[in-house]
Chain A
Amino acid sequence: MVDVSEETIRRLKKQAVVLRRHIIRMTHSVQSGHPGGSMSACDLVTALYFHVLHVDAKNPTWADRDRFVLSKGHACPVWYAALAERGFFPVDELLTFRKINSRLQGHPELGTTPGVENAAGAEGQGLSFSVGLSLAARVDHKTWRTYCLMGDGEQDVGQTWEAAMAAAKYGLDNLTGIIDRNGIQQEGRTEDIMPLEPLAEKWEAFNWHVLNIDGHDFRQILAAIEEAHRTRGRPTVIIARTVKGKGVSFMENKIKYHGAATTDEELRLALAELDAQEAAM
């Protein structure tokens, strides 16, 4: 286990509450978007953007930056919130999300939003894109790394497995896949819609190094990423067990909040819960 201070863990937990508050407000403000899958991924994104990634908000296209690719594009509220909090663009801009003339599109657009690295929306393309990035780093003998955050729903997509084979073929140890395993997709439980289990064994069979963690435990998240760094000769996938809607009790594990925003009353309750969590830290 890597040595991470209590102070770091506390800082990350607080940061994650801030991001969750943004997610709730953004989706409430426009009364659309995907809060559930943004909140399940929130601790993973927080760990990456506030502890792991070498990125520069003042120079978003710095050639040697680490790349974060959001394959599950519908979870972009958490990405935008992290980028804004890291200073890539003003926090005030978050409430333009999904509205006309905004830089914060309903699904990520490359070239428009500072810090966004890929276009996503149609599922299952991000890992392939990440393979391309990782191959480019290798061709150029660069040490920057690529992290691809996938949903579990997009494990249904054939292209995900095309990419998995390619990454293993080329032994891309500079690529880390992370699966936000919240168990819910648009129309129901993943195991009802299209059973994925045994998921870890699938990735192992595709010659990936597989790690299973609690995706809401920062120590486990950081340890897994560290282990991925140390792993040579093959890519690592971190299967992070998460809770859809994590952080707001009435949203947790509810299929509805995959693609539904909170009402005014729910907004009040959600923010009160998040405030209480922050105060308790």
Chain B
Amino acid sequence: MTAAGPWKMESQRSYFGKALVDLGRRNPDVVVVGADTTESIKTIDFGKAFPDRLFQLGIAEPNMVSVAAGLAAAGKIAFAATYSVFGSGHTYNIIRQNVAYTNLNVKIFCSHAGLSVGPDGATHQINEDIGLMRGLPRMTVLVPADGPQTAKCVDAAADLKGPVYCRFSRTNVPTLTSMDDDFRIGRAYTMRDGSDVTLIGCGLMVARCLQAAETLAKEGVHARVINLPTVKPFDTATIDRAARETGGIVTAEEHTVVHGIGAAVADLVVNNHPVPIEMVGVHDVFGESGEAEELLQKYGLTAEKIAEAARRVVRRRTR
């Protein structure tokens, strides 16, 4: 059982940058493209280690994605990295035609996902990227919960043949896992056992699920907590088992509930074993400026809201 804190707060970007350099050292076919955010997203370290394998393409993300596809078509493992609003939203149709349709070895790694971007405001806070990317055929979608998992996503994405989208946070997040933990694409990880309700989170919401479970335990409600670092392909077995064994689910994501992990879970559960589901996430609105934690509080992405949702699920449940 993973404890509900206290946790070390760490940067996913730092883990990403370091993992990329390590990967580049092991594999000469790894190349990186950037779009005037290389320092911020830490790909600049790869460029320092391998100056011939980092391509700075300026504020031109459509070009960046297509260039990555061309590099991949010639046998490279091409990492395209920037902020998620640019790397998924601005480039959606480029990814669709040049990366997903072509099934090329392009790995789109994006920081600055969701509300926790903070003061930059709604233009930079994309809460729609998971849905955009999981809707694309052939696309693998990763949402690592913390720094170590972000590093593991780099290696796993490189080992996988085909397109990958991985999103993570600008803000420091609690470190819940270690570099020694298992990580496989397509697998959901049970962080805490429980039989009364299941809390399924991704990204920085996993820690909040663990905190909610702690609160619920004091009330005698034993919540199972599942970390869902792979949104696609979906770990149907683990989620299906949770629905059957706990009879109710709360999903928690820093993303719109319209087409994020809540929708993915509901899609599976309604077909296999319908149980009450509550979704904690962004409810079809844009964000605004503010500090990360202020925004997460204001838009209800908190352990308290997850616990409240769990209580509603338990009330709704008919077993």
List, in ascending order, chain A residues with CB within 8 A of B72's CB: 132
B76 at interface (Cβ–Cβ under 8 A)? Answer: yes
B52 at interface (Cβ–Cβ under 8 A)? Answer: yes
Q: A117-B73, A118-B73, A136-B31 are in contact. List 9 more A-B contacts (CB 8 A).
A: A110-B101, A120-B97, A125-B97, A128-B65, A128-B66, A129-B70, A131-B70, A139-B31, A170-B55
A–B pairs, 26, beta carbons within 8 Å:
A109-B101, A110-B102, A119-B97, A119-B102, A121-B97, A122-B93, A122-B94, A125-B94, A125-B97, A128-B65, A129-B66, A129-B67, A129-B98, A131-B67, A132-B68, A133-B71, A135-B31, A135-B55, A135-B70, A136-B70, A136-B73, A159-B63, A162-B57, A162-B60, A162-B62, A163-B66
A63 at interface (Cβ–Cβ under 8 A)? Answer: yes
**Interface membership of chain A positions 111-142, coded 1 if the CB is closer than 8 angstroms to chain B and 0 otherwise:** 10000011111100100111111111101100
A31 to chain B, nearest CB (A): 25
Number of interface residues of B (CB under 8 A): 30
Complex Cα distance, B97 from A248, in Å, reads 33
List, in ascending order, chain A residues with CB within 8 A of B78's CB: 132
B245 to chain A, nearest CB (A): 41
Q: In the complex, which residues 165-223 of chain B have their Cβ closer than 8 Å to any Cβ of chain A?
A: none
A166 at interface (Cβ–Cβ under 8 A)? Answer: yes
Tell me whether B62 and A128 are in contact (CB under 8 A): yes
**Interface membership of chain B positions 47-59, coded 1 if the CB is closer than 8 angstroms to chain A and 0 otherwise:** 0000011010110
**Interface membership of chain B positions 77-98, coded 1 if the CB is closer than 8 angstroms to chain A and 0 otherwise:** 0100000000000000110011
B74 at interface (Cβ–Cβ under 8 A)? Answer: yes
Known: A110-B73, A139-B76, A166-B57. A132 touches B102 (CB 8 A): no
List, in ascending order, chain B residues with CB within 8 A of A166's CB: 55, 57-58, 60, 63, 67
Tell me whether B67 and A125 are in contact (CB under 8 A): no
A213 at interface (Cβ–Cβ under 8 A)? Answer: no
Complex Cα distance, B74 from A128, in Å, reads 14
Chain B interface (Cβ within 8 Å of chain A)? 31, 52-53, 55, 57-58, 60, 62-63, 65-76, 78, 93-94, 97-98, 101-104
A165 at interface (Cβ–Cβ under 8 A)? Answer: yes
Choose among A118, A131, A139 the residue with the greatest number of B CB atoms under 10 Å from its CB: A139
Complex Cα distance, B71 from A163, in Å, reads 14
B102 to chain A, nearest CB (A): 4
Q: How large, as a class, is the contact surface on chain A?
A: 20 to 34
Complex Cα distance, B164 from A124, in Å, reads 23
Task: Please list the 8 inter-chain residue pairs (A to B) with the smallest Cβ-Cβ separation, ordered nearest first.
Answer: A132-B70, A128-B66, A136-B74, A162-B63, A162-B60, A132-B67, A129-B70, A110-B102
Tell me whether A135 and B67 are in contact (CB under 8 A): yes
B71 interface neighbour in A122, A132, A170, Cβ under 8 Å: A132
Choose among B52, B67, B70 the residue with the greatest number of A CB atoms under 10 Å from its CB: B70
A159 interface neighbour in B52, B66, B104, Cβ under 8 Å: B66
Which partner residue on chain B sits nearest A131 by CB separation? B67
Complex Cα distance, B57 from A119, in Å, reads 22
Complex Cα distance, B73 from A111, in Å, reads 10
Complex Cα distance, B33 from A163, in Å, reads 13
List, in ascending order, chain B residues with CB within 8 A of A140's CB: 74-75
Tell me whether B52 and A139 are in contact (CB under 8 A): yes
A63 interface neighbour in B52, B62, B75, Cβ under 8 Å: B75
List, in ascending order, chain A residues with CB within 8 A of B65's CB: 128
B75 interface neighbour in A119, A136, A163, Cβ under 8 Å: A136
List, in ascending order, chain B residues with CB within 8 A of A133's CB: 70-71, 73-74
List, in ascending order, chain B residues with CB within 8 A of A67's CB: 74
A158 to chain B, nearest CB (A): 8
Choose among A63, A117, A162, A170 the residue with the greatest number of B CB atoms under 10 Å from its CB: A162
Complex Cα distance, B66 from A118, in Å, reads 10
A229 to chain B, nearest CB (A): 19
List, in ascending order, chain A residues with CB within 8 A of B98's CB: 118-119, 125, 128-129
List, in ascending order, chain A residues with CB within 8 A of B60's CB: 159, 162, 165-166
